[in-house]
Each structure stands twice: as structure tokens, then as C-alpha cells.
Structure 1
Amino acid sequence: MPAEYATFGLAPAMRAGAVLTGGDYEAHRDFVDFVVDGRPLLHRLSDLDAVSPLASDIPPAIFTAQVRGLLLETGAPLPGGRYVLYGCPECEDLACGAVTAVIARDGDDYVWRDFAWQTDDTADLELNGYHGIGPFRFHGAEYRAALGALLDGGAPASRRRVLLIGARVAVLAKLAAALRTIGIGADITRDATGVPTEELRQYGAVAFGRAVTEEERAAVRRSFEDAGLDVAHVDGLAPIVPLLVAQIEQALDRAPAQQRRLTGLAATDGAAYVEVTSRCRVRLTAHRLDRLYRTHTSEVFDGVLEPGRHRIALDSKAVKGEAFLVARTSGSVLVEAVTR
């Protein structure tokens, strides 16, 4: 392949939702990301909290219109032949900022160039251009095949629904409410036996409370296996709602492992070890239970990390007793119990 060409592909991605301290939250979004030369384009754009226009929760007609726009079958939505590649995950308003680029045809090829951060109809390339990114030239056949597959029924299926199984109804109710707040549906049950396959198919994960026996877990797994469904299973670490939300977000992540930004987390009572594949902001939150079974939450780190493995010292008070650590980037979540 000539050096001037880049490969083009698509891959499932998500913007991880979160229940934050103080009652705030961040919405969960599933979307399709653009993969250029084997790497998600979003990862090239520093630490950007954004989603592509190809999201699973937009109406089918709008999704189709977005795909046809990228194929240049419709006119550009912004002056100068510019298209939105990534926008605000909460409201998708251009005023919040968006990554745009010119998409043009050159013979049979498609070219993406002049990437910029844009907050109104006009892009200032000198002030807000992404210098050093692009231009990218894609073979027309490869480009059309990837996007065309979305028009042929390959749009991302939204399985943002979780089946919650446990003994502590109050905790499950709070967890279900928290999940619904960030855009993840949740149902509570103790027995999935006999549930129709069509109902089971809507779930992307099953979460078990600590009091659920192994026999009960096995019965639930068999129900999904008998229906020919492969879902993620979450063993709840502790009855701490933000922690359980993070575990479920981790389970719902469908992005290929090689295309994730946050790839490793280990935690001891003295340090956390975090591995990232590209420069990004990482937030570490510690959750713990004291001897009276009360919950405590501490924000232990919030900063930008370069690619590689990092050691981050932890305050022993923040991880005293039975403790757990949650690591977050804008698109990934990892959860680990703190070891001694």
C-alpha cells in the first residue's frame, strides 16, 4: 500500500458513565469510533471527553443520516465542507465544542484534513487546529465498505441493560436508580429461570450481590447459556453503589482490548499501578468499608499520565480496611480490590 494511504475502520467504543460524589453524574454513551491505521482516532486527540456522531442511542434515521454524510452522499453540515467527528457526550451541542474536519473526495479516495476544535460555525485553524493530525487519505473501497456495513444493519446494538441479582433489596434499588440516572437500564430479580429468550437478549451484563450463592449464580448462567446468549457477569465487590456502577461499566465495555486507553490497574495498601496506552487524564477513587460497615470515598489522584505504567502512592487512610480502587478515563473504567 502506498505510504500516503491510511487504513480506515470502525470499532465499538463507549463513554463511561459515572456516579460522582455530591450527587453529580456523567452519562453512559455507546458509539462507533473511527480507527485510523489500527488506532482509535479519539486517542490521538489528547484527553478528549467526546463521542462520535455514530452513537447507539440516537434514532435510526439520524444515525443513517450521519453515515450518509460521512460518505458524502449529503451536503456538509458546517461551512467549508466540515463534518463533526466528535462532540459533547452530554448534549451534542456545537457550543460545547466539537472536533471537525474537512471530508472531501479525490478521485475514488476520501480525504480527511484540517482537523480543528470548533465551538461555532467557523473553524479557526491557526488558533484551534489540530496540527500534526492528518491529512488522512483512505482507499474509497475500504472506506465505503466500513461505513456501508452500518447501513446494512451493522449499527451498534445497544445492550445497556443490566440484570441485578442479590439479597439486599435496598442496595439493589439504589444501584438500579443510579444506573438509570446515567443511562443504563436495570432490572432486579432473584431467578432468571424460564425468562423468554427475547427478554434475556436485552441484557448486556448480569450483576450478582455478595450474598448470592454459587448455586444461584450457576442457575442464572445456565439460563443465558440455554438461550445462546453471551453476557458479562459481575461479582459485586461490596454494597457500595458507585463502586458497583464502575464494575458494571467495566463489564459493558465492548471495545477491543488492543484499542483501549486504560489497560491495567493493580492496587496495594501503599500504591496503585496504572497502565495507559496514550496520554490521558486518569482519576483514581478509593472506596472502603470500615469496621462498622460504613462506606467512605476518597479521590486519591486526578492527573494526566503519559503512555506506560505508572506507580501512584496511596494514602494508607484512604484504603484502610476492606478497600477498592476505581480508575477512570473518559472511555474506560477498571476496578480492583486493594491487596495487602
Structure 2
Amino acid sequence: MAVEYATFGLTPAMRAGGVLADGDHQVHRDFLDFVVDGRPLLFRLCDLDAVSPLASDVPPAIFTAQVRSLLLETDAPLPGGRYVIYGCPECEDLACGAVTAVILRDGDDFVWRDFAWQTGEHADLERDGYHGIGPYRFPGAEYRTALAALLDGTAHTTRRVLLIGARVALLARLAAALRTIGVGADITEDAGAVPADELRAYGAFAFGDAVPDEERAAVRRAFADAGVDAAEVDGLAPIVPLLVAQIEHALGSGPAGRHRLTRLTATGTAADVEVTSPCRVRLTAYRLDRLHRTRAREVFDGVLEPGGHRLPLDAGAVKGEAYLVARAPGSVLVTAVRRGTPG
């Protein structure tokens, strides 16, 4: 089989959850993406909202079964030697659509080929094939090493955030919203009283707006003393969907090259957005009115090509103290709207 070699690896990725402007929500999913020749494979699939089978929130036995399946230690789950590479982030139903591929051995090597979008038992390569993707030949030792390392259970983690502050009503609403999208959340007024073993369960911690500086410093020390490299979130405003987006961003932090959204700034007239691959981007503006009610408006929804883009904003949507949330598959960014003209 005359296929050039490609490198194979794995990288942490996420499908950002969130409370959307229309009141709906999408579930947060942490998973491992496949890295082919140094680039996440999912980025080659334009505007696809999907996760790999290597998700952190599936039971350990199922996670292990998925790894062994990719190692070809079990029979293919679909006819024709096809395996699910990416599936629906909300459920496991093939009817929602999945990216599948044939995985086979060629000598000591592993080959992925015939990528397709599949919604039933059989794939139609002529109609639904990804003709510009693959085939890929992976050196057997590199491929097996990357996947076998997952079988010790260290990759199976859960995302949790510790909320710190005295405004219990707001934090309770925030915790409920996070749990709705699949992110664990706990509330405390004193993180110093939380045992070190429990602090290690958190990927991020967030402060309420009334937490004084000395208490914030004590929380940082507590996490540092516990040896926890947790992301710190300083809430921009008491707007639950905005705070959810900030926490989602913190939980998904990592190299910029592994995210589709890499930059977001905004003024009262325009937003500057940068993306690394073709993808659908949604921009939502949030603000508090004079009665401290949350106002939300979707200001952009479209597919952007790689590079920087300047998108005009409706002045009414971002008047006063306003914030902008950008969402793309696997990425979320938040920014305060600055007054003035774009740079």
C-alpha cells in the first residue's frame, strides 16, 4: 500500500459547553484529539462540532474498550472495517452523524483511510467521503505507544471548578449552569479550609466580585501548596452565561495552535476575531441594563476562513458596560468591549 508516512499523537481537546443566548445549553466534553503531522485532525474537518471516542466523561471500561478498538485488538464496530473517529458530542447515536474511517494493519504499520460522514450502517464514499483527507500511514511503534499510554487510567479525568465567594445566590446559579453543561462545580467561602487532596480535583477556581485581595492571595497559596496548576478566573460581571464562558475558556487552556479561536477583541463598533481553520463562529453580546437585568444578543453567526476578521457590531447591543463571547467548535473566548475605534 503506497501511502506516505504521517506522525501520530494525541492532544487534550474540548467541546466547549455553555449557556446560549436563547436559553438553550450545550454540554461540555473533554476528549483527546488525534494529532496527524503535528496538527489536530479535527481541524481538517471544517465546522464540525464533534468529539473523538476518547472522551474523559465516559466510564473507564468504555474508555479502555475504545482504546483497544483503535489498537485493532477487537473487531471493527461497523461493517467494512470502519471505526468512529468523531461522533456527536451530545449522544452516541450514529443517526446524528459521525466521521468514520477504515483502520487496518499493513505490516507493522497502522493505516487510516476512506474517511466519510456516516449516518447509517454503511458509508457512501462517493456521496459522503472526505476525499481530501487521508490516507494516513502511522508507524506501528509510535501509534501503539501513544494509545497504550492511555490504558493506565491517567488520561481519564473530570473537569471541576471551585467557586469562591460570599454571594451565594449568584454562585449557586453559576454552579447549576455549569453542572447542566457537564462541568462539576462546588462553592466555598474559604478555600484554605479545603483539604489538599480535594483541591487537586479542580481544573479551575473562580472568584466572586466581592472577594478581597488578601483572600484571593490565600486561595492562590492553597492551590500552590497543594501542587495544583489550576486556572484562575476573575469574573468580569455577575452575568451567568458570561461567567460560564470564562470558566469554559479556563478549562480549555492550552497551546494557541490547538484552538480554532485564538484572538478576540472588541470596541463599540467592531470585533476583531482570529481563527486557525475554517469554522463556524458565533458572537454573543452581554450587558446589564439600568435595572441590572441581563441583556443578550447574538451579533454574528457565520463561517470564517483562517486568519483575522473585523466584524461590525450593532452599537445598541454593546452600549454601556458590555462583553462579547465568541464560540467555535472546541473554543470559546471572552472579552470586555472597549470604548473607542479598532486598532
Give the TM bin, normalised by the shorter chain.
Answer: over 0.9
Aligned partner of 1:59 in structure 2 is: 59
8 A contact 1:204–1:231 mirrored in 2: yes
Aligned-residue offset at 1:195: 1.7
**Residues 126-176 of structure 1: per-residue CA shift (max 9 Å, x gap):** 000001100001111111111111113342422x11111123221111111
The secondary structure found in structure 2 opposite 1:176 is: helix
Aligned-residue offset at 1:196: 1.1
The answer as to 2:183 corresponding to 1:178 is no
The answer as to 2:39 corresponding to 1:39 is yes
The secondary structure found in structure 2 opposite 1:242 is: helix
Could you say what the CA RMSD is over the residues aligned between the two structures, in angstroms? 1.3
Segments of structure 1 that go 5 or more residues without pairing to the other structure are: none
Cα distance in 2 for partners of 1:287, 1:193 equals 33
Cα distance in 2 for partners of 1:52, 1:199 equals 29
Aligned-residue offset at 1:255: 4.1
Cα distance in 1 for partners of 2:26, 2:153 equals 29
**Residues 264-308 of structure 1: per-residue CA shift (max 9 Å, x gap):** 101111100000000000000000122332221110000000000
The secondary structure found in structure 2 opposite 1:317 is: helix
Cα distance in 2 for partners of 1:314, 1:148 equals 48
With over 3 angstroms needed to count, the CA separation of the structure-2 counterparts of 1:3 and 1:62, relative to structure 1, is closer
Q: Give the TM-score taking structure 1 as reference length.
A: 0.97
- Supply the AA of the counterpart residue of 2:29: R
Aligned partner of 2:84 in structure 1 is: 84
**Residues 57-107 of structure 1: per-residue CA shift (max 9 Å, x gap):** 111111111111111111100000000000000011111100000001011
Cα distance in 1 for partners of 2:183, 2:167 equals 20
- Supply the AA of the counterpart residue of 1:152: D
| Segments ≥4 residues shifted beyond 4 Å | none
Aligned partner of 1:232 in structure 2 is: 231
Cα distance in 2 for partners of 1:254, 1:76 equals 34
Aligned-residue offset at 1:3: 8.4
Cα distance in 2 for partners of 1:171, 1:194 equals 21
Cα distance in 2 for partners of 1:57, 1:309 equals 34
8 A contact 1:31–1:156 mirrored in 2: no
- Supply the AA of the counterpart residue of 2:125: L
Alignment identity in percent? 77
The secondary structure found in structure 1 opposite 2:317 is: coil
Moved more, 299-308 or 200-209: 200-209
8 A contact 2:286–2:322 mirrored in 1: yes
Aligned partner of 1:272 in structure 2 is: 271
Moved more, 239-248 or 162-171: 162-171
Moved more, 249-258 or 183-192: 249-258
Aligned partner of 2:140 in structure 1 is: 140
The secondary structure found in structure 1 opposite 2:13 is: strand
Q: Give the TM-score taking structure 2 as reference length.
A: 0.96
Aligned partner of 1:107 in structure 2 is: 107
Aligned-residue offset at 1:224: 0.8
**Structure 1 residues 139-178: aligned runs within 5 Å:** 139-158=139-158, 160-178=159-177
Aligned-residue offset at 1:254: 4.1
**Residues 40-65 of structure 1: per-residue CA shift (max 9 Å, x gap):** 10010111000000000111111111
- Supply the AA of the counterpart residue of 2:171: L
8 A contact 1:246–1:326 mirrored in 2: yes
8 A contact 2:21–2:297 mirrored in 1: no
The secondary structure found in structure 2 opposite 1:66 is: helix
Aligned partner of 1:326 in structure 2 is: 325
Aligned partner of 1:203 in structure 2 is: 202
The answer as to 2:115 corresponding to 1:123 is no
Cα distance in 2 for partners of 1:32, 1:83 equals 16
Cα distance in 2 for partners of 1:179, 1:152 equals 29
Aligned partner of 2:310 in structure 1 is: 311
Aligned-residue offset at 1:318: 0.5
The secondary structure found in structure 2 opposite 1:249 is: helix
Cα distance in 1 for partners of 2:91, 2:152 equals 28
Aligned partner of 1:281 in structure 2 is: 280
Aligned-residue offset at 1:21: 3.0
Q: How many residues align?
A: 338
